[in-house]
Amino acid sequence: MDQAAILRKFVLGVEAMRAGDQRGEDNFGSDFMKLRRLSTKYRTEKIYPTNAGEKEENVKKNRYKDILPFDHSRVKLSLKTSSQDADYVNANFIKGTRKPEAYIATQGPLPNTVIDFWRMNWEYGVKVSSSAPCFLFCAVQKKCERYFPLLGEDPSSFGPFRISCESEQSRPDYFIRTLSVEYQNETRRVTQFHYMNWPDHDVPSSFDSILDMIGMVREQQDHEDVPICVHCSAGCGRTGAICAIDYTWNLLKAGKIPEDFDVFQLIQEMRTQRHSAVQTKEQYELVHRAIAQLFEQQLQLLQSPSDAEIPDGMDEGIPLSCNVLWVTWERRLTRVLPMCTIPVISVLRLLMSLFLLKSCSHELVLQPQSSAAGT
């Protein structure tokens, strides 16, 4: 089965699940309950122990007493900035499509763990951070300590780390910040993608900005040589959703969506690495629907003509070699930039047309020609 057929099969499957839910079948809910039962089994049978997080000296470093890192995949800190530093942080590695430590899934820092958060980012060379936290008081509980200054504010110091905000770009529903991190006379930069409108234990009203943010993340870092740090409040629900969508995005970019691709299996595997990854039924459904939307975008891009056809909008008077080159570039665009927004695609196509115009010395007609005079 080719990639297009696999993508269509998944999209139709999600549509069928949603249609069934509208008839009262609760397909997403029943699937999610299976995931919860498996996670309960992991906990009660100690299949994945959490001994480090249960230690007395580490209990105060956990935001929630029931969200502890599994020992087998937990992030261990060896960078020492003081005699009080230990190796514990409430964080787990989650494997990616190419590397076993592609993501660091972690809780939002507490006042007493901000230094540990920056120790972790520094030790593992994190260059990109994605967050969906609330830095304000939600009800009576603060969900995440702010570990960076805003643009225009004075630099913040956390132990030996000095953090400055060099730039900030506002996008629909999220911010992109460039943070300067100084430690022992060395300066590094971390690009932070901060999603603002994602309620705790709930989902955003639209997936467009989530997909846009993940696309921007991968424009910033298109490899898994160093992990991407992802956090929310507990580091499991929204964090797991972002990791699952990004993981699928990487498979799609490589043209390696397997024929048996299954979100249930993907999240089940993630839950063996980070406790309660994708925490609610609503988040579970969001992952399905966001991936379906991602696949639909890719299917639209894959609808390019065969080499034997004259593409719509191309002049039949243009040499065949130029027409073939156009098609070749169109196909390369679909492989390399599966998440391109329409404006980006338009700009790239304009650049292609200008190149062909110069190379072939013919005028390219970018809009389909009318079939009848006067229309």
Catalytically active residues are: 232
Count CB atoms within 10 A of the CB of residue 257: 19
Beta carbons within 8 Å of 173's beta carbon, 6+ residues apart:
195, 196, 197, 198, 204, 209, 210, 213
Render the burial of 223-255: b for 16+ CB within 10 Å, e for the rest. ebebbbbbbbbbbbbbbbbbbbbbbbbbbbbee
Q: How far apart are CA 31 and CA 52, in angstroms?
A: 31
Q: Which helix (H) or strand (E) covers residue 309, if one does?
A: none
CA angle 245, 249, 254 (to 5 degrees): 155
DSSP 161: E
Q: Distances from the Cα of 309 to the Cαs of 155, 316, 366, in angstroms?
A: 59, 10, 16
The tokens of 21 are what? 């839910």
3-state secondary structure of 53: helix
Cβ–Cβ under 8 Å, residues 141 and 267: no
**Rounded to the nearest 10 degrees, what angle do helices 263-270 and 27-44 cross at?**
20
The tokens of 263 are what? 């979100």
CA angle 364, 365, 370 (to 5 degrees): 155
**Rounded to the nearest 10 degrees, what angle do helices 208-220 and 237-253 cross at?**
60
The tokens of 77 are what? 């800190």
Q: Residue 360 pairs with which residues in a beta bridge?
A: none
